[in-house]
Amino acid sequence: MDSVEQAVVAAVGRLEGDAEGFVRSLTVLEELEAAGTPGPRSELYALLVAIVGPEAAGLRLLEGRGNFGFMDNPPADPLYTECRLTALGRIVLHDGAGTALGLPIGLTNGDMTRGGEQPPFDAARVLDAATRLIDDPGLPDSEVAAVVGGPVFPTGCTVEGRVEDLLRGEPVELLLAARTTVVDDRRGRVLVITGLPPQVTEAEVQHDLFERFRRPMPGKPTGWTQTAFSSAFYYGDVEHLTIEAVFAEWADEADVMDRITSVDGLVESRRAHLPRPVAATLRDWIAALGPRRARGNIEKVRTHLVVS
């Protein structure tokens, strides 16, 4: 977790006090400005939205009330949104001696979902790797990295690339791709898209699909065009966002899948880089917090993950 993100979470904690009630986002921004937090108000609010909103990765430190936006819909003015610490946010602030030590947030959350280069990893696997290190400080770095595994994004996109090099702290290019299938139902032949890469909006995907399939194609039956999109479905988390394209007549599945490979947003190449190797990051976190305290925080988070 970088210093500005930590400042945002800490500001909410200070304002929330003992009441554990929601704090108006505008008040949080004023608190940050009074504390000299770098960045214009618009950028600080964008960071707050990234921590609270539905596309936030990893372990959620803040929860919100009001319209924090989604995909193509911008968030409401900070005067009309509120936030407060989650149980995990309290572990980070209060069990980490007021610092970001409470949890290895930098690994679980990263910053790539808001335009950075550090991807998020599965929280349960990161904590398993930390536990293995507490039990066996001499565990080889390669085994620690194997337990952590590859990046996991909140949308559920697939990830390909030199993951082993990434975990060693080397910069790599990751290929993030949506999940695409063709199914037949009462509407006809339907292209189903889930798991968009982070920061890709449904509007740009739908527009490019429409442009690619809306005209009759030489050698294809008359009417072989894309005729309608269903509304994007959203079931409470971005992993279940679904876009469907319904074709007017029977379409060859192989040809459809071949044509969508160049649709904007379905496959994205992203540069990824960790500040330090995964094993070194976890070793430093355990040393700074202390093995006993680190284990206690891990158990608190595991209980929270099981309950939620």
pLDDT of residue 224: 46
Q: Which among 81, 99, 117 is the end of a domain?
A: 99
pLDDT of residue 188: 76
Which has the closest alpha carbon to 202: 159, 263, 146, 158? 263
The answer to whether the beta carbons of residues 182 and 190 sit under 8 Å apart is yes
Q: Which residue has the higher pLDDT, 197 or 245?
A: 197
Tell me whether residue 19 is in a domain: yes
The C-alpha atoms of residue 242 and residue 204 are separated, in whole angstroms, by 14
Task: Report the domain count for the chain.
Answer: 3
- Per-residue pLDDT tens digits for 242-292: 888 777 665 677 777 777 777 888 999 999 999 999 999 999 999 988 999
Residue 232 DSSP symbol = P
Give yes or no: residues 52 and 191 share one domain. no
Tell me whether residue 169 is in a domain: no
Which of 30-44, 243-257, 294-308 is the least confident region?
Answer: 243-257
Angle at 105 between CA 55 and CA 115, to 5 degrees: 45
Q: Please report, to the nearest 10 degrees, the dihedral formed by the alpha carbons of residues 105, 106, 111, 112 taken in order.
A: -110
Average pLDDT over residues 178-184: 88
pLDDT of residue 98: 45
Specify the CATH number for the domain of residue 25: 3.90.199.10
The answer to whether the beta carbons of residues 226 and 208 sit under 8 Å apart is no
pLDDT of residue 136: 97
Going by C-beta distance under 8 Å and a sequence separation of 6 or more, which residues neighbour residue 254?
none
Give yes or no: residues 131 and 219 share one domain. no
Give yes or no: residues 214 and 184 share one domain. yes
Tell me whether residue 161 is in a domain: no
Tell me whether residue 171 is in a domain: no
Angle at 101 between CA 65 and CA 150, to 5 degrees: 80
Give yes or no: residues 11 and 73 share one domain. yes
Q: Which residue has the higher pLDDT, 53 or 40?
A: 40
pLDDT of residue 165: 98
Give yes or no: residues 87 and 5 share one domain. yes
Q: HEC profile for 275-289?
A: CCCHHHHHHHHHHHH
What's phi and psi for 10, nearest 5 deg? Answer: -65, -35
Tell me whether residue 162 is in a domain: no
Range of the domain at 302: 103-153+274-308
- Encoded tokens for 51: 């921590």
Give yes or no: residues 91 and 107 share one domain. no
Local confidence band at 223 (pLDDT 50, 70, 90 cut-offs): very low
